[in-house]
């Protein structure tokens, strides 16, 4: 029986590759670029009555100035826990508390720190490219196996490989574009 390659197959490939791009975007949002961005707090959790909770679940997060984030806990007894969680994170910012709110001041990044962050961006980009290439390989291997079982013609396989490569190239270019944009953001003073 000959199988048909449908638009759904291509949509599945694009969907899996899109998840890689979305994950990259999430990781890049967590890298601070000298400006106050509440997404840098996304990966920080605090112990809230025995269960780890994200900061935005236990406090109101605001950005009143370009280089300042203010956290106002819903429960004032959480102030110390939030401070500890921020200090234990890799943010590199010391929280300042006045007993009611916590202020996070974002200093200008040093040239050395900027370069480290650019390396981190490159690492995330490479990981995403590997994910995209693995999706390509997974689907091409599946179709090659079908071809060996005579379920798929050689022409259909060649056409499929060509289309999947074009999809892969498109997503790799998007990864480059997203990481290049973040690099520029990090290096601007």
Where does the pLDDT of residue 5 fall: very low under 50, low under 70, confident under 90, or very high at 90 and above? confident
* DSSP state at residue 47: E
Q: Tell me the pLDDT tens digit for each residue of 99-152.
A: 888 898 877 778 888 888 889 999 999 999 999 999 999 999 999 998 999 888
Number of domains in the chain: 2
Tokens of 135: 């999706």
1 in a structural domain: no
Find out whether 45 and 53 touch, Cβ atoms under 8 Å: yes
Q: Band the pLDDT of 23: cuts 50, 70, 90.
A: very high
- Asked if residue 87 is part of any domain, the answer here is yes
Question: Where does a domain end: 71, 88, 105?
Answer: 105
Domain boundary among 60, 76, 105: 105
Residues 94 and 121 in one domain: no
Residues 70 and 88 in one domain: yes
Residue 171 lies in a domain: yes
Beta partners for 60?
A: 72
Last residue of a domain, one of 80, 105, 130: 105
Query: How high is the pLDDT of residue 33?
Result: 66
Q: Are 1 and 24 in contact (CB under 8 A)?
A: no
Q: Which domain, by its residues, includes 82?
A: 38-105
CA 31, 26, 38, 67 dihedral sign is: positive
**One domain, residues 114 and 183:** yes
* Confidence grade of residue 38 (pLDDT, cut at 50, 70, 90): confident
* Statement to judge: residues 61 and 116 lie in one domain: no
pLDDT digits (tens, 9 = 90+) for 10-20: 999 999 999 99
pLDDT band at 189 (very low <50, low <70, confident <90, very high): low
Q: Give the whole-angstrom CA distance, residue 55 versus residue 45.
A: 6
What's the distance, Cα to Cα, between the start and end of the chain in Å?
62
- Kindly report the pTM of this predicted structure: 0.72
* Cβ-proximal residues to 146 (8 Å cutoff; 6+ apart), any chain: 3, 152, 157
179 in any annotated domain: yes
Residue 85 belongs to domain with CATH number: 3.30.1360.40
Token look-up 């007894």 returns 77
For residue 51, the cross-strand partners are: 48
pLDDT in tens, 55-106: 888 888 888 887 888 999 888 888 888 888 888 887 777 888 888 888 988 7
């Amino acid at each position: 029986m000959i199988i048909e390659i449908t638009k759904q197959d291509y949509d599945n490939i694009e969907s899996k590759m899109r998840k890689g791009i979305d994950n990259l975007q999430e990781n890049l949002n967590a890298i601070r670029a000298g400006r106050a961005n509440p997404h840098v707090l996304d990966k920080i959790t605090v112990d809230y009555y025995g269960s780890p909770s994200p900061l935005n679940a236990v406090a109101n997060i605001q950005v009143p100035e370009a280089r300042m984030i203010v956290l106002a806990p819903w429960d004032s007894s959480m102030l110390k826990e939030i401070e500890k969680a921020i200090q234990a994170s890799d943010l590199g910012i010391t929280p300042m508390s006045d007993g009611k709110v916590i202020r996070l001041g974002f200093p200008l990044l040093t040239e050395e720190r900027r370069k480290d962050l650019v390396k981190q961006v490159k690492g995330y980009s490479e990981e995403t490219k590997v994910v995209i290439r693995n999706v390509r390989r997974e689907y091409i291997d599946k179709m090659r196996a079908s071809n060996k079982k005579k379920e798929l013609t050689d022409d259909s396989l060649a056409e499929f490989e060509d289309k999947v490569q074009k999809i892969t190239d498109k997503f790799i270019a998007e990864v480059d574009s997203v990481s290049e944009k973040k690099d520029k953001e990090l290096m601007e003073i």
